[in-house]
Amino acid sequence: MTSSSDALAATARAAESGGPARTRAAVMKRVRGTVSLVLRYAVAAAAIGLAWELFSVRFDSPVLFPGPAKTAARAVELIEEGRLQSDILISLRRILIGFAIGSLVGALAGLAMGSSRLIADLFRPLVNFFRFIAPTAWIATAMVWFGLGEASKISLIIYATVFVVLLSSMIGVGAVAPNKIRAARCLGATDRQIFFLVTLPGALTYVLTGMRMALMNAFMTVVAAEMIAAEAGLGFLIYNSRQWMETDSIFVGMLALGIVGLIADRLFVLVSRTLLRRFSFH
């Protein structure tokens, strides 16, 4: 009995002593992963910049195809004027509002359709019909219904977001292993407990994947919406610059859109990983 207690105590001490080491190893692994990611992005950016410079020299038309230096100079001008920051913030606010509402509605609807065959049979035909109509096809209708203000642009982003999240959430519910649900029922779990403790954690990966794809749709849709009916935003910057043949400003708008989108995507990935570690158990 004593020897068993001593063995358990020794095991506990070994685990405690190994804990900090494992923590340090995990931290170093994350640091190396972050450094590697930054280096990959830096190499990719350098390669794109070099190809861009070579192509602009060969094109030999700074007006039609400005190089990196001319584009960077124009970006500095727009930043000094305060226009670029303002346009980024305006577009980002529209994206975040529309994305949040569309993701919430899509996730709730998808989880409901995945959990109930009756609800799925009722709404699947409508979902399959409307998801093939591009958000840009609704621009004119949105302007008629909601006017030229924020509501028309945000409604288009919601539309671009909701179906992607809905379908991925519905698929996620269907991907939950049936034996987990049966095991929960055998243990006396109610339908509510099964949904929140088994179905939702099991579908979470699919929900977050759909939201990540929907975020891309939101960025693409806001540009189209701002080109048609807006007085500010990155889409307006691109469209208005086209009218005045300011190609360097167009490039600045596109670069800003890509950089902001990249940052938003990486932040979403970090949040998603945290949520999956916290709530997923498989």
- Is residue 239's pLDDT more than 70? yes
Q: Taken in order 48, 51, 53, 59, is the CA torsion positive or negative?
A: negative
CB-CB contact of 98 with 219 (8 Å): no
Q: What local confidence, expressed as pLDDT, does residue 22 receive?
A: 66
**In this structure, what is the dihedral angle of CA atoms 212, 217, 222, 227, given to the nearest 10 degrees?**
150
CB-CB contact of 225 with 139 (8 Å): yes
For 153, the token pair is 């642009």
Identify residue 198 by its one-letter amino acid code. V
Angstrom CA distances, 170 to 79, 99, 107, 173, 181, stand at: 43, 18, 8, 5, 16
Dist. CA 173–CA 170, nearest whole Å = 5
Report which of residues 27 and 78 the model is more confident about. 78
Average pLDDT value over all residues in the chain: 86
Report which of residues 73 and 54 the model is more confident about. 73
For 57, the token pair is 């020299």
Q: pLDDT tens digits, residue range 210-227? A: 999 999 999 999 999 898
Which residues are CB-neighbours of 57 under 8 A, at least 6 positions away? 67
Question: Rounded to the nearest 5°, which phi and psi values hold at 113?
Answer: -65, -35
For 164, the token pair is 């992607």
Dist. CA 103–CA 99, nearest whole Å = 6
Residue 62 DSSP label:
T
- Is residue 119's pLDDT more than 90? yes
Dist. CA 8–CA 2, nearest whole Å = 10
Which residues are CB-neighbours of 66 under 8 A, at least 6 positions away? 56, 74, 247, 248, 251
Share of the chain above pLDDT 90, in %: 51
Q: pLDDT tens digits, residue range 268-280? A: 999 999 888 887 5
Predicted structure pTM score: 0.83
Dist. CA 155–CA 97, nearest whole Å = 10
Dist. CA 275–CA 87, nearest whole Å = 31
Which residues are CB-neighbours of 206 under 8 A, at least 6 positions away? 168, 169, 171, 172, 175
Dist. CA 139–CA 28, nearest whole Å = 49
